[in-house]
């Protein structure tokens, strides 16, 4: 007898919304096949559809002019929820569903906060995941605060398509300019306005001058920049696209490199137009000579799910217990995964195909049991994949004359040199093909079918001692079902098992649904950054943990990457804003993967666990969002907009225990040499260089990179300083080097600290000292230059019209009468993009 006790890992399996699953393509300067999805939780309102069309149409003209007549929006599909009423204009979708959404219309992430944003967690110049708009914003209820929807769409499109970032910064709204003045973070610097405090309480509002923070020497946290309503500056769309005069992106001439904007931080001080101009879109187009046509819209309404299982029962399925494993996984799909109301059929194939079950609508366990009784019982014959697919089309066609949006779930273990003969038929069908490859001999033609139809594909090895097939089948939930209706675990489970044989392999899967439809469940989604890769290029694993749209922090997240020979590499994923992880505490956990063992297919699985009092929700607005406009300066007076709800970003909600498992599908690696692999991986770039001060020293802190990106330990660090940010960025090796003899590197992902005195800066007119780091590994491979920290050699001057002479109060220190008192006669202000501190050099004088 074997007794098992413990927690059950939930197998909630869904693919992360990937940028590479988008259907968007650029054709003759026009963006085609954009998918805009209205979330099922949005109350029915046909005006939303009208406003989406108006927004995209206006945005197309604005984008065309902003990109110097290069780009416009050609055609767009709007996906309408199943629970909205029928309309003769609505067609059945083909491949379009929530998983492929480029724009999502859904309630705000946080109540009352309607700012549009783009889910973006990769590096500068890389595509984002999706754009999020709220219904109220589309309906024009927030136009004063965020500007016209058409201009907003172009702002967010630049995030999504070209991987640029915002040119404002709510965490650092002001900075010290070379002019020795306090300036608002913006681009271009020529945008005019006033810095004021505007507070409303009890129906009355008060405007007053800003106060200087005694610590930062900048304006206090309650001070805001109010732009002038009438402007002449044309840039930038990534700052405040709502300004009437703004019609351009900041370029090399107009870009504000001094401002601590996220664009400067993430894109190495390049302007947004420089990043866009370096994109493949830009390189593959030339300006148009005539205006573009208006966008064409397709209205698509989600309907009941139709899926046909196409199962391989050829002779090769008799080996390695494949047929039995397939049937176990198919039973799980039929019992637990496929949703009530769905239509399900089944086809078997070997060298020919057989229709086992015509479409049956799932209403109860009776229909599920009927389908399970039809699973294959013995393997025999050859492999004809196209026969199975064509019979599936026949099954589906008996219910609907068109195959649009129907799904074919194909499992096979063999290659078929005739499979490519039906690729065109599959492409034209409108059906979605999901492919599960069992064993090594998966057919490339079927993988291509899956990609071109927007389906998912999985690789499951014979060597793996896990429930990979169940994982793959379990991942194939409907792309359009409300999340609350999908199979999910609720709570913690304890269980006992009585084994009937010794030894016996047992697989446990417990599923349920959300206990309350108004409380979104916790989900884990996983992906690799590429589907196809070649050595020595690294790959990145991503896992996103959300409750609704709110990130979950503090979870323990582990990735399992399995090769086709069954070798498994285990990686701890981190949300620390270092190495492969672009943003700290955004709920996306990341890590580099370089431990290739062979050529061929690899599969990804991610497990996440949140223990009691460790995992938590952080209520903060999403990154990469359009700027909220507090108001305008009109004829010298502030005309304020309605204040947005304040959020205490320190407020966190602790979650109960949870466990989740997510499949990230399969990827292929080629050109892997024989083991052991040569060392071709440098340390990862340091991206979180930060600073504090103690007495007369600058103390730098950062997260340690590794010998191979974020694994191992580097050999040494090189720290250099310069009075020119561009010289340090572009000619790092020529800058003045800091003595780091006493700096001994730590293991990757540890916190590093180093103190030094700023000396030997010779430029007489220097206003800043810039600091950066490179890392060297044992093979003398060198990292990229880190983010750049800066020391400001002056106390900035405030505009007299902006300030209140009353300083922000600070605690008065108790004098130490055992020593001579000091008089501060020289101040060095230290600022790092990401933090602000003050350095005071004290010269003592006797009183």
Both tokens assigned to 326: 């397939």
493 — pLDDT class (breaks 50, 70, 90): low
Angle at 189 between CA 186 and CA 195, to 5 degrees: 65
pLDDT at position 614 is 81
Pick from 126, 130, 146: nearest CA to 138: 146
pLDDT at position 820 is 31
Give the H/E segment covering residue 61.
helix 46-66
719-757 residue pLDDT tens = 999 989 899 999 999 999 999 999 999 999 999 999 998
Find the catalytic residue in 96, 115, 129, 156: 156
Is-contact 680 595, C-beta < 8 A?
Answer: no
661 — pLDDT class (breaks 50, 70, 90): confident
Q: What is the DSSP letter of 595?
A: -
pLDDT at position 811 is 42
The DSSP code sequence of 476-541 is ---TTS-GGGS-B--S--------SSSS--------B--S-TTSPPEEEEEEES-SEEETT--EEE
Distance separating alpha carbons of residues 445 and 443, to the nearest angstrom: 5
Burial class (CB in 10 A: 0-12, 13-18, 19+), 636: exposed
171-220 residue pLDDT tens = 999 999 989 999 999 999 999 999 999 988 777 888 899 999 988 889 99
pLDDT at position 835 is 35
Angle at 249 between CA 126 and CA 291, to 5 degrees: 100
- pLDDT reading at 649 higher than 70: no
607-631 residue pLDDT tens = 999 976 788 887 788 888 999 999 9
245 — pLDDT class (breaks 50, 70, 90): very high
810-824 residue pLDDT tens = 443 433 333 332 222
121 — pLDDT class (breaks 50, 70, 90): very high
Pick from 154, 198, 161: nearest CA to 629: 198
Span 356-378, average pLDDT: 96
Distance separating alpha carbons of residues 352 and 348, to the nearest angstrom: 9
Active site residue 156: yes
490 — pLDDT class (breaks 50, 70, 90): confident
- pLDDT reading at 80 higher than 50: yes
What predicted TM-score, i.e. pTM, was given to this entire model? 0.88
- pLDDT reading at 457 higher than 90: no
- pLDDT reading at 9 higher than 70: no
Where do the H-state alpha helices sit in 207-271? 237-240, 262-266
pLDDT at position 431 is 95
147-179 residue pLDDT tens = 999 999 999 999 999 999 999 999 999 999 989
- pLDDT reading at 832 higher than 70: no
Strands (E), 611-750: 616-618, 631-634, 637-640, 652-654, 658-670, 690-694, 697-703, 716-722, 736-737
At which residue do the structure tokens 């799980």 appear? Answer: 332
Distance separating alpha carbons of residues 60 and 534, to the nearest angstrom: 37
677-703 residue pLDDT tens = 999 999 999 999 987 766 778 889 999
- pLDDT reading at 11 higher than 50: no
Bigger pLDDT: 49 vs 566: 49
557 — pLDDT class (breaks 50, 70, 90): very high
Distance separating alpha carbons of residues 2 and 4, to the nearest angstrom: 7
- pLDDT reading at 424 higher than 90: yes
Q: What is the DSSP letter of 337?
A: I
pLDDT at position 134 is 97
Where do the H-state alpha helices sit in 284-422? 322-332, 365-372, 385-397
- Which residues have C-beta within 8 Å of that of residue 259, sequence separation ≥ 6? 167, 169, 175, 183, 185, 186, 187, 189
425-445 residue pLDDT tens = 999 999 999 999 988 777 788
314-329 residue pLDDT tens = 999 998 889 999 999 9
Least confident of 192-206, 294-308, 370-384: 192-206
Distance separating alpha carbons of residues 765 and 768, to the nearest angstrom: 9
Strand partners, 768: 792
pLDDT at position 840 is 33
Angle at 326 between CA 323 and CA 331, to 5 degrees: 125
The DSSP code sequence of 734-782 is GSEEP--TT----BTTSEEEEEE-------TT--EEEEEEEEE-TT--B
Mean pLDDT of the chain, nearest integer: 86
Bigger pLDDT: 356 vs 808: 356
pLDDT at position 791 is 77
pLDDT at position 639 is 93
- Which residues have C-beta within 8 Å of that of residue 821, sequence separation ≥ 6? 815, 844, 847
The percentage of the chain sitting over the pLDDT mark of 90, rounded to a whole number, equals 65
Distance separating alpha carbons of residues 488 and 660, to the nearest angstrom: 9
pLDDT at position 466 is 60
Span 11-26, average pLDDT: 57
Distance separating alpha carbons of residues 664 and 672, to the nearest angstrom: 22
> Is the C-alpha dihedral spanning 81, 83, 87, 90 positive or negative?
positive
Both tokens assigned to 257: 């490199």
501 — pLDDT class (breaks 50, 70, 90): low
């Amino acid at each position: 007898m074997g007794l098992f006790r413990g927690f059950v890992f939930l197998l909630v399996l869904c693919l992360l919304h990937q940028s590479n699953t988008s259907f968007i393509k650029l054709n003759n300067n026009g963006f085609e096949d954009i998918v805009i999805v209205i979330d099922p939780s949005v109350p029915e309102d046909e005006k939303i559809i009208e406003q989406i069309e108006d927004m995209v149409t206006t945005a197309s003209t604005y984008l065309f002019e902003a990109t110097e007549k290069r780009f416009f929006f050609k055609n767009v599909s709007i996906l309408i929820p199943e629970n909205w009423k029928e309309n003769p204009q609505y067609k059945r979708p083909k491949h379009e569903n929530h998983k492929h959404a480029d724009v999502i219309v859904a309630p705000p992430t946080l109540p009352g906060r309607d700012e549009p944003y783009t889910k973006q967690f990769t590096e500068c110049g890389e595509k984002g995941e999706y754009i999020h708009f709220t219904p109220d914003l589309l309906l024009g209820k927030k136009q004063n605060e965020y500007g016209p929807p058409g201009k907003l769409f172009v702002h967010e499109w630049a995030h999504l398509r070209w991987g640029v970032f915002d040119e404002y910064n709510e965490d650092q709204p002001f900075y010290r300019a070379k002019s020795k003045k306090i300036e608002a973070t913006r681009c271009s610097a020529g945008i005019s306005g006033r810095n004021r405090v505007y507070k409303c309480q009890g129906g009355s509002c008060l405007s007053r001058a800003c106060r200087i923070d005694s610590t930062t020497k900048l304006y206090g946290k309650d001070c805001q920049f109010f732009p002038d309503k009438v402007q002449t500056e044309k840039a930038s769309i990534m700052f405040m696209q709502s300004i009437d005069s703004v019609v351009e992106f900041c370029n090399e001439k107009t870009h504000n490199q001094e401002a601590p904007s996220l664009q400067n931080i993430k894109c190495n001080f390049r302007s947004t137009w420089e990043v866009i101009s370096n994109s493949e879109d830009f390189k593959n187009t030339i300006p148009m000579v005539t205006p573009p046509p208006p966008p064409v819209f397709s209205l698509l309404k989600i309907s009941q799910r139709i899926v046909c299982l196409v199962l391989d029962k050829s002779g090769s399925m008799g080996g390695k217990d494949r047929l039995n494993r397939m049937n176990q996984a198919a039973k799980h799909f039929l019992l637990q995964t496929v949703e009530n109301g769905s239509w399900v059929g089944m086809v078997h194939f070997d060298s020919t195909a057989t229709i086992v079950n015509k479409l049956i609508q799932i209403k109860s366990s009776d229909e599920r049991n009927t389908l399970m009784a039809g699973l294959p019982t013995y393997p025999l014959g050859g492999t004809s994949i196209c026969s199975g697919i064509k019979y599936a089309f026949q099954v589906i066609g008996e219910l609907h004359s068109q195959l649009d949006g129907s799904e074919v779930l194909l499992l096979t273990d063999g290659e078929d040199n005739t499979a490519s003969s039906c690729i065109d038929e599959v492409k034209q069908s409108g059906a979605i093909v999901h492919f599960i490859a069992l064993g090594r001999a998966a057919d490339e033609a079927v993988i291509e079918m899956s990609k071109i139809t927007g389906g998912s594909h999985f690789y499951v090895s014979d060597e793996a001692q896990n429930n990979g097939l169940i994982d793959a089948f379990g991942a194939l939930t409907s792309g359009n079902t409300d999340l609350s209706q999908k199979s999910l675990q609720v709570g913690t489970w304890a269980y006992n098992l009585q084994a009937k044989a010794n030894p016996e392999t047992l697989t446990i899967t417990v599923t349920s649904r959300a206990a309350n439809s108004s409380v979104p469940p916790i989900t884990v989604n996983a992906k690799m950054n590429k589907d196809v890769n070649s050595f020595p290029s690294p790959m990145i694993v991503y896992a996103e943990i959300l409750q609704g749209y709110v990130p979950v922090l503090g979870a323990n997240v582990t990735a399992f990457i399995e090769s086709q020979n069954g070798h498994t590499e285990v990686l701890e994923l981190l949300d620390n804003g270092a190495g492969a992880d672009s943003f700290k505490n955004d709920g996306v956990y990341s890590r580099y993967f370089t431990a290739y063992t062979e050529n061929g297919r690899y599969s990804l699985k991610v497990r996440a666990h949140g223990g009691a009092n460790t995992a938590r929700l952080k209520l903060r607005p999403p990154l990469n969002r359009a700027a909220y406009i507090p108001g305008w300066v009109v004829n010298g007076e502030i005309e304020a907009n309605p204040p947005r709800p304040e959020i205490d970003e320190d407020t966190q909600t602790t979650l109960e225990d949870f466990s989740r498992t997510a499949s990230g599908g399969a990827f292929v690696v080629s050109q892997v040499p024989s083991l052991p692999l040569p060392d071709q991986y440098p340390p990862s770039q340091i991206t979180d260089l930060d600073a504090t001060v103690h007495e007369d020293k600058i103390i730098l802190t950062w997260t340690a990179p590794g010998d191979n990106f974020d694994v191992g330990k580097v050999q040494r660090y090189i720290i250099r300083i310069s009075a020119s940010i561009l010289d340090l960025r572009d000619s790092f090796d020529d800058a003045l080097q800091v003595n780091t003899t006493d700096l001994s590197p730590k293991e990757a992902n540890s916190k590093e600290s180093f103190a030094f005195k700023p000396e030997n800066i010779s430029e007489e007119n220097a206003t800043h000292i810039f600091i950066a780091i490179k890392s060297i590994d044992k093979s003398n491979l060198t990292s990229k230059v880190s983010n750049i920290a800066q020391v400001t050699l002056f106390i900035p001057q405030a505009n007299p019209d902006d300030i209140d002479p009353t300083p922000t109060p600070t605690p008065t220190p108790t004098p130490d009468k055992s020593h001579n008192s000091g008089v501060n006669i020289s101040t060095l202000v230290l600022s790092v993009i990401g933090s602000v501190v003050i350095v005071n050099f004290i010269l003592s004088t006797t009183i």
